[in-house]
Amino acid sequence: MNAQSSVTTAAIEIRGLCKRFGRFTAVNNVNIVVPKGAFLVLVGPSGCGKSTLLRMLAGLEGPSEGEIRFMGRTMSSGAGGVIADAGARDAGLVFQSYALWPHMTVAQNIEFPLKVARWPRQRRAERVAEVLRLLDITALAGRYPAEISGGQQQRTAIARTLAPQPSILLFDEPLSNLDAKLRVEMRAELMRIHRATGATSVYVTHDQVEAMTMASHVAVLNEGRVEQFGPPIELLRHPQTTFVATFLGTPPANLLPVVRRGASLVLGDVSIAPASVAGELTEARLLYRPQQVAIGRVDGRPVLPARFAEAAPIAGQTMVTAMVGDLRVTGIADGYFTAEPGAPLELSLIGDPDAVFATNGERLAR
């Protein structure tokens, strides 16, 4: 399922983009329009095609089919055989591995792309000083990569990418090598830098928390296709496929497989909802948010017998996961909750299902 932004001023246009490696299709008919100044996050599980898509944007891979345009200019075309050189795209790429020159100081690493672009000496010095201040690494200017921490190396890599003032910034999982606390700090830094530069950013991650925290737009990829594209809150509130519904959100939503039995939709022997919510379908998937699953019996609500699996405290509440047969279901308990693994629980479903999906994964209009 592909979607497009209706914004007319586009920094990046991706039309019918495909990439094949032999018989394997890594990117399959992707269509995205990214407005100027957006922070687009490509998110999805390992092997979904997000890094391959980023490499095509950077000019490191050519498309098998389709077209990429930056600021209205064609960068790559599978049909036309056009592949603009990576250095001619007015785009900067931050690698996951930092890729700093070990024999150059921090300042020299940042200056290097400006030398390649033949900036005058004085202008280079001014720009290096400006970027060092922006990334708060001025004190590290004379050090070598081996003499600074991983987080400082990542700041240096970002500074080097920003130095030539590209219109488009590309990030390939730049925080994955950092510890959890530093990742949170660097997310805030990247958002600040994005606002300060005004560049259009494309950021690859498999971490949906990063995606929902940083993005103005999110493209959820699965098996090379864009499952859904749009603002993060829109994807959370109105997922269009079961994949998006269960991939995004912390904790993830629950999908209950139900079958029509008379006037009801049932899971096992429990009547969950009126059959009318599923239209003419005989089988469906009902989406219940974790906050719609209460731990314990609630009078007048459907109750699922379950077995306790695990609990995780979150902000004064507890995320409780239990097994309903072979199905994992997550609910929220007030305060702190614990039980012995395998202990019996009752899960009550509060309110109507938040969405209904067909067995092919597509959302029903309601």
Give tens-digit pLDDT for 93-113. 998 888 899 999 999 999 999
**pLDDT tens column, 19-59:** 999 999 999 999 999 999 999 999 999 999 999 999 999 99
Q: Does residue 312 sit in the same domain as residue 183?
A: no
In a domain, 22, yes or no: yes
**pLDDT tens column, 255-296:** 999 999 999 999 999 999 999 999 999 999 999 999 999 999
Q: Does residue 171 sit in the same domain as residue 81?
A: yes
Look up the domain containing 346 and give its range. Answer: 251-357
Q: Does residue 26 sit in the same domain as residue 46?
A: yes
**pLDDT tens column, 157-176:** 999 999 999 999 999 988 88
The answer on pLDDT for 328 being more than 60 is: yes
Mean pLDDT of the residues in the chain = 92
In a domain, 283, yes or no: yes
In a domain, 241, yes or no: yes
What lies within 8 Å, CB to CB, of 183 at 6+ separation is 175, 210
Q: Does residue 257 sit in the same domain as residue 342?
A: yes
Q: Does residue 242 sit in the same domain as residue 333?
A: no
What lies within 8 Å, CB to CB, of 83 at 6+ separation is 59, 62, 75, 76, 77
The answer on pLDDT for 80 being more than 80 is: no
Within 198-301, where are the H helices? 208-214, 232-237, 242-247
Q: Does residue 242 sit in the same domain as residue 301?
A: no
Q: Does residue 340 sit in the same domain as residue 257?
A: yes
Determine the Cα–Cα distance for residues 184 and 263; give it in Å rounded to an integer: 49
In a domain, 122, yes or no: no
Q: Does residue 188 sit in the same domain as residue 298?
A: no
Instruction: Give residue for tokens 């959820």.
Output: 220
CA distances to 48, 235, 256 from 218, in Å: 15, 8, 26
- pLDDT above 70 as % of the chain: 98
In a domain, 99, yes or no: no
Q: Does residue 287 sit in the same domain as residue 332?
A: yes
227, 246, 265: which is the final residue of a domain? 246
For residue 3, what pLDDT is reported? 44
183, 218, 246: which is the final residue of a domain? 246
Domain CATH for 190: 3.40.50.300
Determine the Cα–Cα distance for residues 295 and 319; give it in Å rounded to an integer: 10
Determine the Cα–Cα distance for residues 200 and 214; give it in Å rounded to an integer: 13
CA distances to 261, 284, 292, 315 from 364, in Å: 19, 10, 20, 33
pTM value is: 0.87
Domain CATH for 318: 2.40.50.140
213, 231, 246: which is the final residue of a domain? 246
In a domain, 364, yes or no: no
> Is beta strand 10-21 parallel, antiparallel or unpaired with respect to 24-35?
antiparallel
Determine the Cα–Cα distance for residues 328 and 255; give it in Å rounded to an integer: 9
In a domain, 127, yes or no: no
Angle among Cα 85, 87, 92 to the nearest 5 degrees reads 125
User: Domain tally for the chain?
Assistant: 2
